[in-house]
A and B are shown apart, each in its own frame.
Chain A
Amino acid sequence: DAGVIQSPRHEVTEMGQEVTLRCKPISGHDYLFWYRQTMMRGLELLIYFNNNVPIDDSGMPEDRFSAKMPNASFSTLKIQPSEPRDSAVYFCASSFLGSKYFGAGTRLSVL
């Protein structure tokens, strides 16, 4: 398996623009997670899905963030409008029976 695939790897955008991050989980994994990592706050869970259904979005910072999982092989995290404080590395992870595997991450810079 190719592992968890995220795109793009790097995104540079201007404040106010819409940003969409994409994730393809490992085939057969029933959980999908979106994390954000910064130096100050470490790795924070934003939202997670079980069998494509959002289970806990309490970590989503505000209404500017939204996530969808239309099928078992694809998920998106959208930020609209983006702000400089959203600059971070965003990781997608999938799991089966508890062990999580992370994608390579998307490094987002909002200018």
Chain B
Amino acid sequence: QKEVEQNSGPLSVPEGAIASLNCTYSDRVSQSFFWYRQYSGKSPELIMSIYSNGDKEDGRFTAQLNKASQYVSLLIRDSQPSDSATYLCAVNINGNTGFQKLVFGTGTRLLVSP
């Protein structure tokens, strides 16, 4: 089982709709979760972080975390064509040395059509 799993997509939604991106992880002791957006040919850009169960809202973005189910999601309300990108889920995994390291999923490609 991969440490962080995402559906590769593409996920296609019309402009103005809600886009729902999902991620599951394998390490039960993970404490920190991140969503990155990556435009084609560009570097990943941090858009959300979440550490506690429940919802965290930032503008049009809402991150949802359920540690019991080992599940984290990202909702994008009022999707815009400019939101079209690959969204990477990242989870801090405790390394063997005791320090944490960030493991990324392979990403979900989102396409928002006008």
Stretch from B38-46, B56-64, B65-73 at the A interface: B38-46
Give the interface centre of A43, A45, A55, A58 by most chain B CB atoms within 10 Å: A43
**Are B96's CB and A58's CB within 8 A?**
yes
Q: How far is the CB of A3 from chain B (nearest CB, A)?
A: 9
**Are A45's CB and B43's CB within 8 A?**
no
Q: How far is the CB of B62 from chain A (nearest CB, A)?
A: 18
Query: Which residues of A lie under 8 Å from residue B101 when comparing CB positions?
Result: 45, 48, 56
- 1/0 contact string of B93-107 vs chain A (CB within 8 Å): 001110101111111
Q: How far is the CB of A45 from chain B (nearest CB, A)?
A: 6
**Which residues of B are at the interface with A, using a C-beta cutoff of 8 A?**
32, 34, 42-46, 49, 88, 90, 92, 95-97, 99, 101-107
